[in-house]
Amino acid sequence: MPDTKKFIENLSGAGKCIGVLTSGGDAQGMNAAVRAVVRMGIYVGAKVYFIHEGYQGMVDGGDNIKEASWESVSSMLQVGGTVIGSARCKDFRTHEGRLRAALNLVQRGITNLCVIGGDGSLTGANLFREEWSGLLDELVQSGEISEEASQIYSALHIVGMVGSIDNDFCGTDMTIGTDSALHRIIEVVDAIMTTAQSHQRTFVLEVMGRHCGYLALVSALACGADWVLIPEMPPKDGWEEQMCYKLSENRADKKRLNIIIVAEGAIDQSNKPITTELIKDLVVRCLGFDTRVTVLGHVQRGGTPSAFDRILASRMGVEAVLALLEASPGTPACVVSLCGNQAVRVPLMECVQMTQEVQKAMDEKRFEEAVRLRGRSFENNLNTYKLLSHRKIDSELPHSSFNVAVLNVGAPAAGMNAAVRSAVRVGITEGHTMFAVSDGFEGFYKGQIKEIKWGDVGGWTGQGGSLLGTKRTLPAKHIDKIAEQMRIHNINALLVIGGFEAYLGLMELQAARSKHAELCVPMVMVPATVSNNIPGSDLSIGADTALNAITDTCDRIKQSASGTKRRVFIIETMGGYCGYLATVGGLAAGADAAYIYEEPFDIRELQSNVEHLTEKMKTSIQRGLVLRNENCSENYTTDFIYQLYNEEGKGVFDCRKNVLGHMQQGGAPSPFDRNFGTKIAAKAMQWISKKLKEFYREGRVFANTEDSACLLGMRRRALVFQPVVQLKDETDFVHRIPKEQWWLRLRPLMKILAKYKTSYDVSDSGQLEHIVRLRAKDVSAI
């Protein structure tokens, strides 16, 4: 990070014109990106133009290019697809078409373009930029623009955002729309599972992905599918027998259904397509199972964007405007993207070349190379799937004679069950005997411990809550009994999945090691809590599901407020003292304000928020949404804020309040939480195996070092094991939150997008990173 801090106040867009367009296939979240570009552009003093119908609108000009206003992007955030339209454009592929587009832009003074689309759209934009000065010369010669205009508008700046549900663009972890498409797929799979179970059926599902198997792979991981077929990894010869053997083995194991997921571009080793019908015929012929095919098709592109896509698109939109403001004529066209949870800029053509190399590798049957080029995230998904899906027969398993116990601690969080399933199956694959502890540390000291086998965790990924049972009880008071249970069951390692109590519990167990040798075993904690308040991890299992619950509710409430007009809703979210859900939920739902403990506020701020809403009611957007974290202030309670707003807004707006409560903890886990839980628990189990070998001396396991009691957390771009003792200094134990929290940097974004003047530190932005360097750094990205 640079030594000198850089603030948004010092960046001005005065005199600049930005054009924003969506091109190619639509993706959920494109509207959130358009909204962010328009509002950030207007905020910095630039003029922003909508270019309707993609490149076609740029070529046709006229009413297709219209100036945008602040209000014109209101209510777009929750709408799927793209409101400004998208079209495949043949004209732009011709020189004549690009010449007309250049004239239309120059006539309006637009020299900054923000293109939201796939690799084809972004490649077209780059070509346009390279030809720009030549196109202007032609326009001067034909007398359509003056020499002076060609001087003023001599450089065209381009920033891309990738909107594609396939996640097929190299150089970015997630493209806009991918998470929402996964939501649609998982909704369908969850629904199909109930009917398949009733009739003991096999379902073959086709998902999108002509050249990229990301959707198929991640949805297979997220629903525990029996088999997955993707273009990057054609099955080995003889796969037909292998697949049928696995399906029949699962049925014999009392599993009443089979799910096979196929990417539409799935191929075999000879590059021949593998279709859903081919698989159906194969299953019917070899096994005689009742088999059905479901092709998901355009359902995957539809529906409202997920919370993740809205936040991703909003962050990218703001970052795109910053990149355009800082661009000089020599700056290469870049793509703003996300790496881990950090916004980065990467050269557009490097990404395009890498994406094309993947296709080339697949055409030339260099499939392992293709998987590597897709990036660490794709590779890790694939490795985790392989680890979990193929059950080895006992004779193939390494036999470790180690016993590993898994337990849930704290409040329930969606995704805990996916983590338990993953840990159990990876543990069994590594040769360990796995034990499940019911009801957290309370069940532990009462001896509620029993062996858990491969088949016991079947179908767990899609289940919300905690199937093992979870309690907030801490171990310190019962440490003697817990040590005794460790001895009785000969437990050699512990995996604790849970929230702040799990973190405190691990510290207490480690502190008691000096008195109890039974506790000198490797211990690791995986963070799982809706509050996302665990030191050492930027994200925890369950927070994404809770965010989606908040966002869905806020969407409905906004719709109600739009109908009645002049209404402000005060909504209370969970989180303890941690303002993550209120802040990030506020950004995803388009809130006007979010009150949190970490950012103290007083009566003056409440007053200014009321005045801000009073001004807003004079525009065409006559509704307000205010989020309040449950513990943000002892005295400014939800009731107090509601009454204050009601009194101060008299005659201008009326108020309603909603306390969201425990609905934020329930429900089926989101695809992100299923996937995150699965991958992080698998990594934790592999660490346990490594430590067990390391600490095995003279016939027993003895681990007494700091680094044998760790928390596995996501830090910026990677999953990191951190000794819990070392995290003490980073923790505010009174308020149960980390002392520093990355998401506080997103608060100014929420304020800017709600039309507040604010200070925004943009020091983190602006470094162009090269894609090869990204790969090397990304050692254990998730």
Q: Is 447 left (phi over 0), alpha (psi -120 to 50) or beta?
A: left
CA 236, 239, 240: angle at the middle one, nearest 5?
A: 155
Q: Which phi and psi (to 5°) does residue 114 adopt?
A: -115, 110
- In SS3 terms, 334-352 reads as EEEEEECCEEEEEEHHHHH
Handedness of CA 537, 541, 546, 547 (dihedral sign): positive
- Phi/psi region, residue 87 (left: phi>0; alpha: psi -120 to 50; beta: rest), is beta
Q: β-strands 403-409, 470-471: how paired?
A: parallel
Rounded Cα–Cα distance for residues 569 and 584 (Å): 17
Residue with tokens 């010369």: 137
Nearest to 208 by CA among 231, 241, 235: 231
The letter for the amino acid at 268 is D
Running DSSP on this structure, what letter comes out for residue 332?
Answer: P
Contact 541, 532 (CB under 8 A): no
Other beta carbons within 10 Å of 340: 20
Maximum distance among all Cα pairs of the chain, rounded to whole angstroms: 91
Among residues 759, 528, 776, which one has the least CA distance to residue 5? 759
> Helix count (H) and strand count (E) of the chain?
24, 27
Neighbour tally for 139: CB within 10 Å: 20
Contacts of 291 (CB under 8 A, 6+ apart): 201, 202, 203, 204, 280, 283, 284
* Token pair recorded at residue 165: 């549900």
Show the tokens assigned to 524: 């690791």
Q: For residue 720, give the H/E element and its range.
A: strand 718-723
Q: How far apart are CA 461 and CA 221, in angstroms?
A: 9
Residue from 26, 166, 439, 538 carrying the catalytic annotation: 166
CA–CA dist 557, 36 (Å, integer): 22
Three-class SS of residue 495? strand
Phi-psi region of 53 (alpha: psi -120 to 50; beta: other; left: phi over 0): left
Q: Is 166 a catalytic residue?
A: yes
Neighbouring C-beta atoms of residue 386, cutoff 10 Å: 10
Give the catalytic positions in this structure: 166
